[in-house]
Amino acid sequence: MNKVDKPDAFDLEALRRKPALNADGTTSSEPKAEVSALARQIASQYAVANYSPSIVIGQLRFLEFFSLFAIALAANYFMALEPGPHFVLSAVSGFGGALLALAFMQASDCYHVSILRTPMRSIARVLISWTVAVALTSLATLLFGDFDVKYPSTLTVWFVVGGAFLVIERNLIGFAIRRWGRNGVMERRAVIVGGGKPAKDLIRALEQQPENDIRICGIFDDRNSQRSPDVVAGYPKLGTVAELVEFARLAHIDMLIISLPLSAEARIMELLRMLWVLPVDVRLAAHSNNLRFRPRSYSHVGAVPLLDILDKPIRDWDSVAKRAFDIVFSLLALVLLWPVFIGTAIAVKTTSKGPVFFVQKRHGFNNEVINVLKFRSMYTEMSDPTAKNAVTKNDPRVTKVGRFIRKTSIDELPQIFNVLRGDLSLVGPRPHAVLGQTRDKTYGEIVEGYFARHRVKPGVTGWAQINGWRGEIDTDEKIKFRTAFDLYYIENWSLWFDLKILFLTPIKLLNTENAY
């Protein structure tokens, strides 16, 4: 291999350009294979999403901060001679003390899953952090504040009750984490790609790590039983790499670890072309390779290094922030647009026979099929739930009201309810119909990597739409450009990006050139 600074040396753009080989040697935009009965059974065990360690630790920080702050306010209320006049000082000192406690516990490595799992081993660090935080807060208050006569008693109560709370709470959290670990609720679920001795060495190395939070769900390898045993280090080989794509959609998998030497660059590239469409972390086992990249290119499980190839987009707290964004702005939209909803429903119902709403099956996150709501814009007897035949200009299937609401995208407004339900996001790649196609080709056959746009939730509006790529898809170029804009959005997502798209949408909808 040539000298490399980052994993980007695996030319990820090439993944979008070159077709992937299926297990049968054919090519397509997405490898498709039926998983075995054993793989399907194991996938069913991981059908429920697990707790992200990052989310749990973040929630713990919030819990400890607000609890210590609340204890400070309660101590002032019950202990001070005049709680009212000293409320502001108590609130400021309580806020500062709780914040300092969190900072010191963070600096003392008290917020790692391995530490939380056995709390009594680290309880001294927790209590020392709390003691230092209270001492600094009380010193600042005594020097600069107008404190109550009974402030020393108030401070003592805050310190003792806060310390007792941390001890009890940390032990309860430790019990919960150990239980979640046994039940598979809080862990990172991984699949090994590639079998034989490299996979066996990797599994043994992971099992020896005391801080290992990886649960190996199985092994997938294209090689036959003679070259790759059916069981490696106690874990079954569940199928080929093509079957892994389907398995990862049946199970909630967090990570794919490719167990191949870096010298097998051609094979690694071939695997990545097949796997990059999945919303998971893709890592390359690096424990047995002598070649080393820069430290920021690696993540570690204990002492086992993994080369970071691809990251799951919009993960952990980013996903929480995006979900909060969706709920807030969806509710705001309902408050502002309810007259439009009512007026459109009346217009649809009184001008043509049939229901007000039209339900269509479309591809959602991770290729799951979801039911998307729209105002009905076609005559009921001519409707096309599969969207196999795209709507064209002057399409006789579209009602007079339908033409107007389609041009103005009012027909899409009921999808706000899909957002509140969690099927869609306000901003993201538009959800296409399951059988959507251009002429005689499905979108997946036209665009290599098309299904990578399903690594995030689809949206009511998106980057492609405000750049003019909306309406009829009657040429290969249109779906290619849409997909390119969707992938750009996924790779450059931020809340500010979402906000920009959301506020530009009403302006860009004034251009109805391609909307029929």
pLDDT tens sequence across 364-416 = 888 888 899 999 888 877 776 666 666 667 778 888 888 888 888 888 999 99
Q: Is the pLDDT of residue 508 over 90?
A: no
Residue 395, CA distances (Å) to 383, 389, 390, 399, 432 in order: 11, 11, 9, 9, 19
Using pLDDT thresholds of 50, 70 and 90, give the confidence band for residue 3: very low
Using pLDDT thresholds of 50, 70 and 90, give the confidence band for residue 112: confident
Geometric angle at alpha carbon 247, from 241 and 248, rounded to 5°: 95
* E strand spans, 124-196: 188-193
Count of CB atoms within 10 A of residue 344's CB?
Answer: 22
Q: Give the predicted TM-score (pTM) of the model.
A: 0.75
pLDDT for res 322: 94
Backbone angles phi, psi at 111, to 5 degrees: -120, 40
Angle between helix 123-144 and 151-183 (nearest 10): 150
Geometric angle at alpha carbon 322, from 371 and 342, rounded to 5°: 50
Q: Note whether 362 and 352 are within 8 A (CB).
A: no
Domains of the chain with bracketed CATH: 7-50+187-312 (3.40.50.720), 54-183 (no CATH), 317-508 (no CATH)
Q: Note whether 61 and 281 are within 8 A (CB).
A: no
pLDDT for res 289: 56
> Dihedral sign, CA of 155, 160, 161, 163?
positive
Residues 6+ apart with CB under 8 A from 436: 387, 388, 390, 442, 443, 473
pLDDT for res 20: 41
Residue 97, CA distances (Å) to 57, 130, 163 in order: 20, 8, 13
Residue 245, CA distances (Å) to 271, 400, 434, 512 in order: 11, 43, 18, 38
In percent, the amount of the chain with pLDDT more than 90 equals 26
